[in-house]
Amino acid sequence: MDWPAQCCAVIPCFNEAASIAGLVSAVRRYLPAIVVVDDGSTDETSAEAQAAGAHVVRLTRNQGKGAALRAGLQCAQAQDLSWALTLDGDGQHCPEDIPAFFNCAEVTGADLVIGNRLVTPQQMPRLRRLVNRWMTARLSNLCGRPLLDSQCGFRLARLDKWSALTFCMDHFEVESELLVEFSRAGHRVEFVPVRTLYLACGSKINAVVDTWRWLRWWRAQRRSE
């Protein structure tokens, strides 16, 4: 597989001017095509990303990670690419792990490859680790198979499989929605170990609002079984 010719990096972000240029430059060592979706930032995220060599899709208002991710994947597909690699814009994912995703897809035939941060769980803040494991256990039940890390946004997805499914979530539930929809459609899902850098700025997840959104989505999925 000629990954640089067939794959695009998609980076949804909100107010990541401090990190986005360095991230784009690092990812370009592996993939020349990079789409940064600026989800209504109020800082210089778009300008920094464009100066670093990314194609920028700018949303006029903040719509949420799920909406930004859909916009980026649609842009990648419009370029007649076969795959998209998604990363978070805050720099917590290590671009040096990108070849492991490509290798996993080639060796296993997976349609979706997800980063597994829990190989070295001590890297993750304790509360986030516990919540992640709880969510992953719930999603394992929905998917009917054991999952390793359901919430990691570092992923490689086959675009034709993605576009044939329906995705509605606009916020952080998108990670769970994508995983469940791929699994229910019978597409192969695999995991690869990744490193994660937890930065001093912390997560943009709102512990109350986003947890409620996730629980509401999860309950709806259970009712639909």
d(CA 79, CA 95): 22
80 versus 215: the higher-pLDDT residue is 80
pLDDT tens sequence across 176-215: 999 999 999 999 999 999 988 766 455 666 666 777 888 8
pLDDT tens sequence across 97-130: 999 999 999 999 999 999 998 877 666 677 778 8
pLDDT, position 199: 61
Q: What percent of the chain has pLDDT over 90?
A: 70
170 versus 201: the higher-pLDDT residue is 170
∠ CA 181-215-37, rounded to 5°: 60
d(CA 177, CA 173): 6
pLDDT tens sequence across 33-63: 999 999 999 999 999 999 999 999 999 999 9
pLDDT, position 132: 81
pLDDT, position 212: 82
Domain definitions of the chain by residue range = 3-224
- Domain at 3-224, CATH homologous superfamily: Spore Coat Polysaccharide Biosynthesis Protein SpsA; Chain A (3.90.550.10)
d(CA 187, CA 180): 10
Residue 95 has pLDDT above 90, yes or no: yes
Residue 18 has what DSSP assignment? T
Angle formed by the axes of helices 174-184 and 126-143, to 10°? Answer: 30
d(CA 129, CA 121): 7
